Amino acid sequence: IHVVGPNAGESAERGVAGPGRLAEVAEVRAAIEALLARDAGQRERKPLTGRRVVVTSGPTHEPIDPVRYIANRSSGKQGHAIAAALARLGAQVTLVPGPVVLADPPGVSTVHVETAQEMLDACLAALPADIAVCAAAVADWRVAQAAGQKLKKDGGGPPTLAMAENPDILRTLSQRQGDRPALVVGFAAETQNVVDYARAKLVKKGCDWILANDVSGGGVFGRDDNQVILVDATGAERWTVLDKQAVAERMAGRIAGHVSEGA
């Protein structure tokens, strides 16, 4: 007997939250596939067997004081699905998610973090790696000095929060000397000039591929379907609208193809 979930989150009863949600169908499917593949995998060599991968996923939480934080609406669905898809192809995957309600994908080593700095530290601890996929929506800024105690209303008006810049994990991994992963993949969400902006980001950060989300038609966070364009230094390939699971499968396939070309 193998157990999938339960996941944490809001329950059907309004205002009630905690563990008890049915795992997402995609997670149940991934767990079944991982179990079925496990035995088969021992017989057949998979395309990413022996490859080490680090994947970031979800948002980061940057504390203001012990009870408040700055965050964003990233669900982690895409990053988690990519981590699971790479593991199904035989990779040894370290997934570094910020706070998410998703269950840890099966067959993946998951290191939970809260802040951008912790995410960077966990990624660096996972090196050396052959491949890095930075799917997390990392907060660009943190509060420079998080308060040790809860901030109180003192009648003096709203507090002023001095901010400090967070480390850029994608750029740091892309520009490592000596232990740079051979393939570094970043993400971008754009509403216009998608390919140009994605390529500029690729150059600025020094990564090899950018999976650009065209979000001109509405938000992408938390949704299941995605219009993506895979951009590298020389070309751009627009994929049909796919759900995040299918984007993950195709991405993992592309990575496996690239790795085998270079082998």
- Does 189 bind ligand CTP (CB under 6 A)? Our answer is yes
Q: Which residue from 82, 95, 100, 169 is in contact with ligand CTP, where contact means CB under 6 A?
A: 169
For the chain, the residue count is 263
Residue 183 CB, nearest distance to ligand CTP (Å)? 13
Residue 171 CB, nearest distance to ligand CTP (Å)? 7
**Contact set for ligand CTP, span 54-113 (CB under 6 A):** 56
Instruction: Respond yes or no: is residue 193 known to be catalytic.
Output: no
Q: Which amino acid is at 161?
A: L
- Does 168 bind ligand CTP (CB under 6 A)? Our answer is yes
**Contact set for ligand CTP, span 31-60 (CB under 6 A):** 56
- Does 174 bind ligand CTP (CB under 6 A)? Our answer is no
Based on C-alpha coordinates, what's the Rg of the chain? Answer: 19
Q: Which residue from 134, 202, 247, 251 is in contact with ligand CTP, where contact means CB under 6 A?
A: 134
Q: Answer yes or no: are the C-beta atoms of 228 and 135 closer than 8 Å.
A: no
Complex with ligand CTP: residue 31 or 248, whichever CB lies closer: 248
Q: Point out the catalytic residue in the list 72, 166, 213, 226.
A: 72
- Does 186 bind ligand CTP (CB under 6 A)? Our answer is yes
- Does 138 bind ligand CTP (CB under 6 A)? Our answer is yes
- Does 170 bind ligand CTP (CB under 6 A)? Our answer is yes
Stretch that binds ligand CTP, among 87-95, 134-142, 241-249, 253-261 (CB under 6 A): 134-142
Q: Which residue from 24, 37, 103, 187 is in contact with ligand CTP, where contact means CB under 6 A?
A: 187
Q: Answer yes or no: are the C-beta atoms of 89 and 47 closer than 8 Å.
A: yes
Exposure of 240 in the CB half-sphere (CA atoms within 13 A): 2
- Does 230 bind ligand CTP (CB under 6 A)? Our answer is no
**How far apart, in whole angstroms, are the C-alpha atoms of residue 215 and residue 178?**
36
Q: Which residue from 87, 89, 126, 136 is in contact with ligand CTP, where contact means CB under 6 A?
A: 136
Stretch that binds ligand CTP, among 26-34, 35-43, 181-189, 243-251 (CB under 6 A): 181-189
The residues annotated as belonging to the active site are 72
Could you list the residues that contact ligand CTP (CB under 6 A)? 56, 116, 134-136, 138, 140, 166, 168-170, 186-189, 201
